[in-house]
């Protein structure tokens, strides 16, 4: 049965497991998720491929995209700009493809407020506790103590926005969390409003 695609939006504080879960979903055979590729003004790194990792654009071109409303959401991060091109997402949805977004709460809010807001299914991923989140950040062994402290302060603010989401998943076990996300995706794919071929299907029932 033909259906319209959806925007599967994942958000979480740093260290809650969002990126790992997103990668699991994208790599899962047969699940059929497409990753949204952002446009950015950040310089391209040696191993990156334009169009696969990011769409690398100039600051002027990015401003033009904002003015022309060619972006579904955009943000400034550490002096660089990032945003989601609207045209490919609209095409994918019309083709029945589901698009995965790994964004913060501000990006999720912009997507909900965009012309494609009705296509959004949003999930906020929580850590089992703040102490466990702090432990995970320290275990990364990448950040100085003051950086971990800043991330924890930011996490508290980000967590305050979880009531804005359609679903909330407490990630105390990666396998269980992935199973829950798959269930959410299956349910959202079965929403009557997305089933553009339902009328024709019903006519064909004998």
pLDDT on residue 145: 79
Find tokens 């926005």 and name the residue. Answer: 161
Answer yes or no: pTM beyond 0.75: yes
Instruction: For residue 117, give the CATH number of its domain.
Output: 3.40.50.300
Whether residue 166 is contained in a domain is answered as yes
How far is C-alpha 201 from the geometric centre of its chain's CA atoms? 31
pLDDT on residue 97: 97
Number of Cβ atoms within 10 Å of the Cβ of 115: 10
Whether residue 48 is contained in a domain is answered as no
Mark the ranges of the chain whose per-residue pLDDT is less than 70. Answer: 141-143
pLDDT on residue 152: 86
What are the start-end ranges of the E strands in 25-97?
33-35, 39-40, 55-56, 71-77, 80-85
Whether residue 79 is contained in a domain is answered as no
Structurally, the chain folds into a number of domains equal to 1
What is the DSSP pairing of strand 80-85 with strand 71-77? antiparallel
Whether residue 73 is contained in a domain is answered as no
Whether residue 56 is contained in a domain is answered as no
pLDDT on residue 133: 85
Domain that holds residue 165: 7-36+97-203
pLDDT on residue 71: 96
* DSSP three-state, residue 163: helix
pLDDT on residue 141: 64
Whether residue 67 is contained in a domain is answered as no
Whether residue 118 is contained in a domain is answered as yes
Helices (H) and strands (E) in the chain, counts: 8, 9
pLDDT on residue 191: 97
Whether residue 137 is contained in a domain is answered as yes
pLDDT on residue 151: 81
């Amino acid at each position: 049965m033909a259906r319209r695609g959806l925007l599967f939006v994942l958000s979480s504080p740093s260290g809650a497991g969002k990126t790992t879960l997103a990668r699991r979903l994208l790599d899962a055979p047969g699940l059929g998720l497409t990753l949204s590729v952002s446009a950015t003004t950040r310089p391209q790194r040696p191993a990156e491929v334009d169009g696969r990792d990011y769409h690398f654009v100039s600051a002027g071109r990015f401003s033009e995209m904002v003015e022309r409303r060619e972006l579904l959401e955009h943000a400034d991060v550490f002096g660089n700009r990032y945003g989601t091109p609207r045209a490919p997402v609209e095409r994918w949805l019309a083709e029945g493809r589901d698009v995965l977004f790994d964004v913060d709460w501000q990006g999720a809010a912009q997507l909900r407020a965009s012309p494609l807001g009705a296509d959004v299914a949003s999930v906020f991923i929580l850590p089992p506790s703040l102490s466990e989140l702090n432990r995970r950040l320290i275990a990364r062994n990448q950040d100085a103590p003051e950086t971990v402290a800043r991330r924890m302060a930011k996490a508290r603010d980000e967590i305050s926005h979880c009531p804005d989401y359609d679903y909330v998943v407490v990630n105390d076990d990666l396998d269980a969390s992935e199973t829950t996300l798959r269930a959410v995706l299956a349910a959202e794919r079965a929403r009557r409003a997305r089933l553009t071929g339902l009328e024709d299907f019903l006519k064909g029932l004998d």
